[in-house]
Structure 1
Amino acid sequence: MPDKIVVAGVPVDTRHWIGGRRVASGDTFADHSPIDGRLIGEIARGGPAEARAAVAAARDAFPSWAATSRSERARLLHAVADGVEKRIEELAIVETTDNGALLRSHRRGVMPRVAHNFRFFADWLLTLEHDDFETRGHTNHVSWDPAGPAVLITPWNAPLMLATWKVAPALAAGNTVVLKPAEWSPLTASLLADIAAEAGLPAGVLNVVQGYGAEIGDALTSHPDVRRISFTGSVPTARRIAGSAAANLTPLSLELGGKSPLLVFADADLDLAVDLAVEQYDNAGQVCLAATRILVEESVAEEFTRRFVAKAGALVQGDPRDEATDIGPNIHPRQLEKIDGFVRRALAAGARAVIGGQRGDGQCYAPTLLTDVAQDSEIVQEEVFGPVLTLQTFAGEEEAVRLANDTRFGLAATLATGDPERAARVGARLVAGTVWVNCFFVRDLQAPFGGSRLSGVGREGGTWSFDFYCDLKNTVTAPKGWKDHG
């Protein structure tokens, strides 16, 4: 196995990054591009031995990193951000090749956001404080202490952005990190290791191990030296991770699936509502936050559908490297088969495809809208994670809220209405970690992010991230008892 491969002209190391050096494995796994199915390269396939080595490196580096001043940690995170910004074009083309998302989105939004993740948490660290308060004359002082090595397990749909959403606050908090990227999109995590090393991050502070979760995951999440675990992915995997971490009572942050609603009321700006609905096809529908259940008030459902079909029909599906493309391929043949299975079963159960309902070229799935779906049907209740939306109607607010909340999930909800009082009233009743009103995907890093019900455990963002990645300490000092040191 070559130590490096060249991806769209960019050299990428295929080995793990452990303790400040590259480490090979005896076995590999194949990484294929969803654009054309070709083999990109053979990637080091880690297992328990690599997991233990990475945790040991993080453990050994922790005391020094935890003792590093806030200002120095912040400086190094800004240096990592500088490195990301210098390599935005390289990161963008490698990630597009690896996961099939739009190159234009990576260039203009995703990779700049990666740099922003580091800068935001570096700056937030320097402002992190809680006012002292008194109890019967005693002073209470709250501090955020580094917790220890953190294992971060990240998904394939936005690999580097979602990885650094975890890596940046964990490092800012003074923790050391073992990052395990998804096996379907491992390449930009390897590039991040290079960037971090070039920025001067000490050896062992950031480690990257690659491989299949079933082979390496338990050794990471059950390790007694790991003090934090953050995972983004599926509910079944989260259950396994939680069980693995239970013996050590390792704190968990879990951002899981969604089956989010988009509620369109008759008083909404219908063109805006249609734009919001069509936006749910972003990244080929591979977005956990996507509002895949469109709920439309009966009186405007026909007009909404007409405008939606026209708007969605103008989308261009194809090569994600082409500037004109709006929807690229789904990431893996297994994912494509899963999406198609959901749709075929829905159609067999009586659903009607207003648009789409079939595979496209290569690993593409046609943007699909299904109607005539029952509330308790699989297609309404289970996460598809592809460009598949359902449309149902409601008669009024009560039914809208009931339908919106009638799933096991609670990650997000989107609401389109022209009435601010209705927006406040309905928004307050929706079970969701984030509610967008007349907008979608507006995310500020200082806001809490996470899900309710089976959509997750915990919140990250701003101070909430530090609350998770740190051990909070309260020091209570008596007003007397001091000796004269004069």
Structure 2
Amino acid sequence: MPHGHDAARAVAQVAGVAVDTRHWINGERVTSPDTFTDTSPIDGAPLARISRGGAAEAAAAVDAAHTAFPGWAQTNHTERARILHAIADGIEARIEELAAVETADNGALLRSHRRGVMPRVAHNFRFFADWLLQLRHDDFDTRGHTNHISWDPAGVCALITPWNAPLMLATWKVAPALAAGNTVVLKPAEWSPLTASLLADIAAEAGLPAGVLNVVQGYGHEAGAALVRDPRVARISFTGSVPTARHIAGAAAANLVPVSLELGGKSPLLVFADCDLDLAVDLAVEQFDNAGQVCLAGTRLLVEASIADEFTQRLIARTEALRQGDPRGEATDIGPNIHPAHLTRIDSFVQRALAAGARALTGGGPNTDLGGLYYRPTLLTDVAPDAEIVTEEVFGPVLTLQTFDTEEAAVALANATRFGLAAALATGDQERAHRITGQLVAGTVWVNCFFVRDLRAPFGGSRHSGIGREGGTWSFDFYCDLKNTVTAPKGWLTRG
């Protein structure tokens, strides 16, 4: 596996930012014999030729992480936290660059990257650095013996991340894994790998020792598969599809490696007649965020029949007023979808639904005025309760609308999929909200709000939406080996 000697040829200019297209392994840039093309969803233009890793690169990265682990694990908490804060400083210094590169790479709104996403990326590091310093469990007594709980670093962590929020979701995993004292091999999605490379530069500049963070680029069935099979890997965290998760879980099972899986959803948004209707429509429109490429999105609108007509009219008007176009434009509300294959997948779902009797109240196909990867925000009705379009994740700007007459019917519809990631409801009745949230199968439920996330809270899904919870202490529970040390009372004699 050659190291890159001609660095200039391995650097791409993306949105005016120099991005190294090689892997980052053991504190060095490393090339591969093969490459793949990374293209922009905005206009289909090629952005860079990316080093295409496989088994050799994955093994080299695990070697580096395995070697670096003892030193990083023994680094005291204060120093670990200091370096993580330095990484956050580096991110904040480059927010404009990171935002511009990520928008070019995955097509999400530039204004969102600038104002929300990249500040959250920095916060991921600050939060887990600070949480590390206050992580503790009160000692407790057992017949005079003291029990002391500690979190020991687990080892090498394989982190495989998706394309819809590349840097935010990567750092959601990288930050707690590093804070816990582990070393990391990050495999970003091949459709949006660029900001992971910039993160490697920022971490190195912040003083993170060589081998503690490694970045291997490539396809999931090559680099990713080799990575999760490596018996030296101690933890695997993956965000992505259910079929891929099954392969990862099988590889992890062979080595008895704990996994954290976040696998998307088909979340409901329940709208009751006693709600603030303006708020309910606002919440529904928000589900088109990031061109519908949000795992938490409440794409199934479940509306009480008595207000369905008025709700629908307002929602159609608001949806048709959304401005679709270049995500770099300040006034743009919806940008492109990520890749031609994904756009085809989205449209195939919609066309099958229409052929089965569904009706498009607005949208229903690609935006032919814009061409490329722009899909019109779509609202479908007249869908059967068991239709594919309401049971399978589309991951695009496509909502379905169903009605109900009773709470019991609303809950039954809400829980009628194999997923259980999130849910939202709009109601003016606090008792009803409490009643219903207790019945919904979901890892997160929002009442009269959406996408409010605090890193102190557990995050994850039920059923096919995933395994495990991360956030706050739950992240350290996953990325560490928990230990209980039991000490006899003072004065007890030991045997000589």
Q: TM-score, normalised by structure 1?
A: 0.99
Aligned with 2:229 (options 222, 226, 237):
222
1:365 to 346, 368, 375: 375
1:389 — aligned with what? 399
User: Residue 158 of structure 1 corresponds to which residue in structure 2?
Assistant: 165
Provide the C-alpha distance between the structure 2 equivalents of 1:168 and 1:217, rounded to a whole number of angstroms: 20
The amino acid of 1:193's aligned partner reads: A
**Displacement of 1:37 after TM fit?**
0.1
Is 1:114 the counterpart of 2:133 in the alignment? no
C-alpha distance after superposition, 1:148-195 (max 9, x if no partner): 000000000000000000000000000000000000000000000000
Question: Residue 481 of structure 1: CA displacement?
Answer: 5.3
Q: How many residues are aligned here?
A: 484
Secondary structure of the corresponding residue to residue 442 of structure 1:
coil
- The aligned counterpart of 1:355 is 362
The separation in 1 between residues aligned to 2:116 and 2:213, in whole angstroms, is 24
Q: Does 1:245 align with 2:252?
A: yes
In structure 1, what is the equivalent of residue 3 of structure 2? none
CA distance in 2, matches of 1:218, 1:320: 33
Kindly indicate whether residue 317 of structure 2 is the aligned counterpart of residue 310 of structure 1. yes
Residue 80 in 1 paired to residue 87 in 2? yes
* Counterpart check, 1:169 vs 2:179: no
Counterpart Cα distance in 1 of 2:17 and 2:80? 29
Equivalent position SS for 1:325:
coil
1:222 shift after superposition: 1.1
Determine if the alignment matches structure 1 residue 285 to structure 2 residue 292: yes
Give 2:138's match in structure 1, choosing from 125, 131, 136: 131
Asked if 1:62 corresponds to 2:69, the answer is yes
Q: Residue 431 of structure 1: SS of its match in structure 2?
A: coil
Aligned partners of 1:443, 1:275: CA distance in 2, in Å? 18
Aligned mates of 1:17, 1:215 — CA distance in 2: 17
Q: Does 1:449 align with 2:459?
A: yes
SS at match of 1:305: helix
Is 1:400 paired with 2:407?
no
Once the two structures are TM-superposed, the CA of residue 482 in structure 1 deviates from its matched residue by 5.9
Paired amino acid for 2:309: E
The answer to whether residue 468 in structure 2 is matched with residue 458 in structure 1 is yes
Distance (Å, rounded) in 1 between the aligned partners of 2:138 and 2:222 = 46
Q: Supply the distance in 2 between the matched residues of 1:99 and 1:482 (Cα, whole angstroms).
A: 63
Partner Cα distance (2:53, 2:250) in 1: 21
Q: CA deviation at 1:121?
A: 0.2
Q: Does residue 422 of structure 2 align to residue 425 of structure 1?
A: no
Give the Cα–Cα distance (whole angstroms) in 2 for the partners of residues 23 and 442 of structure 1. 39
Pair 1:412-2:422 in alignment:
yes
- Once the 2 structures are TM-superposed, how far is the Cα of residue 216 of structure 1 from its aligned partner? 1.2
Alignment partner of 1:345 is 2:352: yes
Separation of aligned partners in 2, 1:57 and 1:97: 31
1:4 to 4, 11, 23: 11
1:434 equivalent to 2:434? Answer no
Q: State the TM-score, normalized to the length of structure 2.
A: 0.97
Q: Which amino acid aligns with 1:95?
A: E
CA shift for structure 1 position 385: 0.2
Mapped to 1, the partners of 2:89 and 2:264 lie a distance apart of 32
Alignment of structure 1 residues 257-296 onto 2, 5 Å: 257-296=264-303
Q: Give the fraction of aligned pairs with identical amino acids, expressed as a percent.
A: 79
Asked if residue 28 in structure 1 is aligned to residue 38 in structure 2, the reply is no
CA distance in 2, matches of 1:123, 1:482: 38
How far is the alpha carbon of 1:480 from its aligned partner?
A: 4.0
In 2, Cα distance between the equivalents of 1:313 and 1:380? 22
- Please list every run of 5 or more consecutive structure 1 residues that lacks an aligned counterpart in the other structure: none
What value does the CA root-mean-square deviation take over the aligned residues?
Answer: 0.9
* Distance of 1:390 and 1:480 partners within structure 2: 66
- The residue that corresponds to 2:385 in the other structure is 375
CA distance in 1, matches of 2:223, 2:187: 9
Unpaired runs of 5+ residues, structure 2, are 1-5
Give the 3-state SS of the residue equivalent to 1:152 in structure 2. strand
Structure 1 Cα separation of the partners of residues 317 and 253 of structure 2: 51
Where does residue 467 of structure 1 map in the other structure? Answer: 477
Which SS does the other structure have where 1:106 is aligned? helix
Deviations 1:89-115 (A, max 9, x none): 000000000000000000000000000
Q: Deviations over 1:228-278 (max 9, x none)?
A: 000000000000000011111000000002000000000000110000000
**1:212 correspondence with 2:219:** yes
Secondary structure of 2:336 counterpart: coil
1:149 aligns with 2:156: yes
Q: Deviations over 1:23-79 (max 9, x none)?
A: 000000110000000111110000000000000100000000000000000000000
SS in 2 for 1:151: strand
Q: Which residue of 2 aligns with 1:322?
A: 329
Instruction: Quote the residue 1:15 is aligned against.
Output: 22
1:203 correspondence with 2:210: yes
Q: 3-state DSSP class of the match of 1:68? A: coil
Residue number among 92, 97, 120 corresponding to 1:90 in the alignment: 97
Secondary structure in 2 matching 1:227: strand
Aligned residue number for residue 255 of structure 1: 262
In 1, the alpha carbon distance for the partners of 2:133 and 2:223 equals: 35
Aligned pair 1:44/2:51, yes or no?
Answer: yes
State the alpha-carbon separation in 2 of the partners of residues 381 and 447 from structure 1. 27
Letter in 2 for 1:454: H
How far apart, in 2, do the equivalents of 1:237 and 1:212 lie? 12
Distance in 2, Cα, partners of 1:349 & 1:263: 24
